[in-house]
Structure 1
Amino acid sequence: DDVLARAPAPAEGRLRLWVDRSFTITGSGTVVTGTLTAGTLRQGDRLHLLGHGGAVPVVVRGMHSRNTPHTALEPYTRVALNLRGVSASEVHRGDALVTPGTWPLTGVLDIRRSTGPAFPDTAEHLVLHAGTAAVPARLSPFDDDHARLTLDRPLPLVLGDRLVLRDPGSRSVLGGAQVLDADPPALRRRGDRARRAA
């Protein structure tokens, strides 16, 4: 309670919920669980499920939090959502439920190191963790603290999002990073990398 009392006010507007589990309940259909960190969720909301198959439109049929039914929920809340428009087998850990048209998808990020070894001392091939998503990525350092990440699949990420970087060959965490640019310019000319680092 003390930690939540000191937390900043949750973001209003666009909703993003990273899915951690999906399953089927007889008579109800598809249920997904996750933590609502931004936006207000209401019964009947039309959302997009962003995953390997692109954007799938879904409707929130019902919702529970702490084993209690609700018609609306605000951040920061653990939720279980009954969805219409998708089967449980089509939903995977790391998919995101979002407000349609408000979250850009990106496959290239410029990042700043927040913890861990300097980027030139880090493996080129990593696993990026954002929300509950775990996506293979290629790291291209600019300098010790700044780099470009190219993801195997696009994610709904924006400026300021925090990431965890992991070595795919071990269970250890390499470090953390923050998104500086979710739509960075192409690096085509000689000197572009140095200018970008600066």
Structure 2
Amino acid sequence: MTDRPPTDDESIAGHNDLWRSLTRPDNEVPASVAVDLVLGSNADVVAFVSGMLVFSTGVELTLDVRARPGHRIDGEALADLLFHRSRGGKPYLFGVEYADGRRSARRHTFSPVPESDPDAVSLLQSGGSGGGGNSYSSSYFLSPLPPPGEVHFHFLWPDAAIPETRSTMSADAIIDAASRARVLWPWEDETWGEEDAPEIVHDLPAGSWFA
């Protein structure tokens, strides 16, 4: 005998449970972690994690990029390159790896983690991007919480002449902050929807972590 297929209501409930595990909870007050982790830099551009808000299910990361006033990346101002990519420029690559080997890279479209692997790591843009001129900021939600040990942050941005780098921090501060996150009220299912967007394909150097 084979298992029956899920009903429509069960499919929706399962999808909402998956969506909840991949996104910032809206029924919690997070705890903060002080962080100033430089991901990559050169004489004209720097990218760094400027903040972490820790929830019971994951971490919201704020990634900031700064460029020297007047600096151009392949002829584009920083904001034009990141927001519009009018000349075909490609955004940076950003990834995270846990001490147990689980990993995820920044995703430009929603591609759910398979439900058969609920412990898989996900890194999704969690809100809008902002900035202008020589400044840019974006938020990502990393889930689930990391295990004890080191958390490695990988970064690569060939268009900005930033080579592939790895920055490391201990997971201890994140795990401690998760215990201080405050649940305001029980979480409730909400309808979910997302339009597909075209995938961005990068030309990666040989041996890249992102390959």
TM-score (norm. length: structure 1)? 0.26
Which structure has more strand as a fraction of its residues? 1
Structure with larger RCO (C-alpha < 8 A, sep 6+): 2
More helix by share: 2
Instruction: Tell me the TM-score normalised to structure 2 length.
Output: 0.25
